[in-house]
Every structure is written in structure tokens, then in C-alpha cells.
Amino acid sequence: MGNRPVRHPPVLIIEDTISLRLVYRAIAMAAGHPVAVAGSAAEGLAQFHATAPNIVLLDVVLPDGDGLALMRAMLAERPETLVIVLTAHGSVNRAIEAMRAGAQDFLVKPVDEARLTAALANAANAPQRTLPAPAGPQANLFIGSSEPMQRIHGKIESVAKSMATVFITGESGTGKELAALGIHAASPRANGPFIALNCGAIPQDLLESEVFGHMKGSFTGALSDKPGAAQAADGGTLFLDEICEMALPLQTKLLRFLQTSTIVPVGATKPRKVNVRIVCATNRDPMDAVRRGQFREDLFYRLFVVPIHMPPLRDRGDDVIEIAETALARFAQEEGRHFDGLSPEVRALFRRLPWPGNVRQLLNVIRNIAVLHMGGLVTPGMLPESLFLQGIDGPTPTATDMPLHDIPTGLPPNLLARPLAEIERLVIEAVLTRHGGSVPKAARTLEVSPSTLYRKLEGWGVKT
């Protein structure tokens, strides 16, 4: 018998920059590690539950939460996890804070390949350890202390202990998935998996397989058995985002699943019992979808047990300033720069803006500032021009359809002289801007499926 190949421990990479994520993945795989990747705090925690990695490579600056808060949450659940944190050049204090919080090692960007390979090898050979759980294991990834957010925190804490189905509503970018993660983390199922599925991002003909799984040979391309999200979430929480985008035939099967707690994978003949808590979300008005016949009424009442509505950023008072300044400090660390906060003029403007894209839009604005400017006090002249195209006192855009001639401009005057593919991209980007980056809303305006837009954006290398 020959020597058996060395089995390297699995690695989870949490990094929001796609190019860096691909580089780290290639290095880790070349070193022989099975690899899972994530681009945000929410996705990272979901992958942490789904893959149970031994090693986590974690960027401390993430678009939707604090990397160190995420690390504390992961170590609270599995203290033996070895976390290697990534920090921007010059952020020594951040690295020290990470080591004190339980990190195995830290790397300063830009990361040298040899240094990363060595850090992974050291972690792989490190003895098993058990760390004391950090205080407050339900890490608070929300930023903001306004009264609306205090009510949200209270509601999450109350509902988390139960098995009740939770229905989260709110505009795109308000943090619905973070709320779902908060419910899971504060629940008795916190040690189980958290599986998130975006019903609007998956083609309808593949959605049943993604939710319930399939058997080998059940359709063309089904080369092996595949467990669906419902089975993967057994013992934990299944988060169904954009639930109102689910096709009616699959809604019928979801209702049966809720009633029986059993699933039947595509191509299977026998049902399987699973123990799953359901949390779902939508940025649409679910009752309107019911009235239009797009969402089953019986399924709606089965899911709408405990509603939680995430407030838009414009209704959260000074949270916009707190989020902006926190994000500015984080992004500045990532870029190796120093900013002195927001000027009074920018603070006043931020309070008045309608923020149709909510927190996601605000974070994009702050990242733009951190990337394009060297530092100092943030003044109105440093803000992206697109921000001033919003009507400060006008009505906030809604999800209702609008004719294409009402799309905000930003489109070039010589549009008809351009290739069709370029025109398509310009129009799609303009509609997305009008809807604050919401793909489902843009899809309804353009009368295409959300999955079509997701595929096009992915092909253009655009993060959503």
C-alpha cells in the first residue's frame, strides 16, 4: 500500500474584494486545503455554519458588519476554530485587538503568497485549543442606536427563543439577512446551520432542486445526489430571501413542507423528515403580492406568524451618521488612509437624503470616498456626483413599475450610436440606480426575471 495523501483541514475565506478572494482561494487550494468562500459577514457566518471549517481567513473590514464582531461570534460557537485576520497596512491596533480577542495570526495587506502559505501551515499544525467564550456571544453586527433599531433588537431577542416562523419585510439594503442571522444566533439553534437562499437569484427551473435537493439522474446534469437547502439546514435555520419571487408551483411544495416537516427531493420517491426553523424576507409588500395572485394566501398566513419590518435608513435619525463614520474608519484602515470624520455640511446632507438604497447605498458612498481620496475631513466635494442626483425633498422611489422614459438620466446623449450590448448595460445600470441597487425592483421595471439580471451582473463582474 502506498502512502495516503495528507488531509489538510478545510479553510473558510471571508473577503469582500472578489479579486483578493480568488487569489487567497488559489493559494489555499494549492496548499491542499478544501476551501469555501464568502464576500460578507452574513454570508461568512452562513458558510461557517454550513462547512464547519478548522481555519478561517477573515478580513476585518466587511461591507455589512465588523469582522472582529464576526470572529467573536464564530469563536463563541466553536472556540477551537483558528482565525487568521487580514488587516490594512498600518492598522497595528486592529491586529492587536484581534489577537487579544482570540485570533491565531494576522496578516497585513497586501498579503505575500509565502506568508499566507506559512500562516495556513502553522494553523494546520497548531495543537487543538479551547478558548473561553467571549462575552456576549450574540455579536451585534447592526450599527445604530436609534429608537426604531432598539425596537428591532428587542423583537429579535423575544422571538429568537421560540420556533415561530418569522417574516422580515423592508426595503432593499435595510439588513434583512442580518436580522435573520441575529434571530438564529440568539436562538437555541445557534450551534446548528444557518442556510440562506435567495429565491430571486436562482432560475425558477432550478429552484426546486436548490430548496429540496435532487437524486442522481433525476434530470439532465444531475450527476450525483445533492441535498437541498432544507436538508442542509436540518437542526438549524433556513432563510428564504425574496420569498415573493418564488413560483406558484414551488409555493405549493413549500406549504406542504411547512405542514409536514418532510421534503421529497427531485427524483425521490420517499419523503425525508427534517427539523428546520423558517425565516423569510421580502422587499415587496407581501399582501399586495397575495392580492395580485402572485403569492398563495394560505402560504402567506403560514409564514406571517411574527412579522418584523426593517426601517429604512431615512427613518433612523442619526444612525446614518453613526454608520457612515464607523464605515469610514473601517474603509480607511483597509486603504491605509486617515480621515477626520464628516464635515457639518456632509452630516446635514446625509440626514436629508432619502437613501433609496439604504445602508448598502451609504456603504458604497463611503467606500467611494475612502478609495478616491487621501484623507482629511470629508466635504461635499468629495462625495460621488450620483448622490446629488437624488431629490432630497422629493418622494422616495417605490417598487411600482415606471415607464422607461422616466428612468433617471446618466445615460449618454449619443445612446443610439452605441452597440446594443452597451445600451443594454447602460439601461440596466440606470434602472438599478433608480431603485437603489435592488435587483428585484429593477427586474419588475424591465419586465425580466431577477435571475436574468443577476446573471448579467455576474457576467459584468458587478457585485450585488
Domains and CATH numbers, the chain: 11-125 (3.40.50.2300), 147-309 (3.40.50.300), 316-380 (1.10.8.60), 404-459 (1.10.10)
Residues 6+ apart with CB under 8 A from 198: 241, 242
Q: Tell me, what's the pLDDT at 351?
A: 93
Answer whether the bond into residue 249 is a cis peptide, omega within 30°.
Answer: no
Q: Tell me, what's the pLDDT at 7?
A: 57
Runs of H (alpha helix) within 213-303 = 229-232, 248-260, 286-291, 297-303
Q: Tell me, what's the pLDDT at 302?
A: 93
- Taking the alpha carbons of 332, 333, 336, 339 in that order, is the dihedral positive or negative? positive
Give the type of residue at 19: S
- Taking the alpha carbons of 445, 450, 452, 457 in that order, is the dihedral positive or negative? positive
Per-residue pLDDT tens listing for the chain (464 residues)? 444 444 578 899 999 888 888 889 989 988 888 999 998 988 898 889 888 899 999 998 888 878 888 998 888 788 889 999 988 754 556 666 777 677 887 787 778 788 888 888 878 876 544 333 333 333 334 677 899 998 998 899 899 989 999 999 999 889 898 899 889 888 888 878 888 888 887 777 778 888 888 888 877 777 777 888 888 888 889 999 999 989 898 899 899 999 998 988 888 888 889 999 999 999 989 999 999 999 999 999 999 999 999 999 999 999 999 999 988 988 888 788 899 999 999 999 999 999 988 998 898 899 889 989 999 999 999 998 778 765 544 333 333 333 333 434 455 555 566 677 777 888 888 888 877 778 888 888 887 777 778 778 877 877 66
| Nearest-10 crossing angle of helices 18-30, 113-125 | 60
Contact 82, 71 (CB under 8 A): no
Q: Tell me, what's the pLDDT at 411?
A: 55
DSSP secondary structure code for residue 395 in this structure: P
Give the type of residue at 445: T
DSSP conformation letters of 43-67: HHHHHHHHH--SEEEEESEETTEEH
DSSP conformation letters of 398-431: -SS---GGGS-S-S-TTGGGS-HHHHHHHHHHHH
User: How many residues comprise the chain?
Assistant: 464
Name residue, grid cell 427613518: 315
Q: Tell me, what's the pLDDT at 129?
A: 44
How many Å apart are CA 367 and CA 372, to the nearest integer?
9
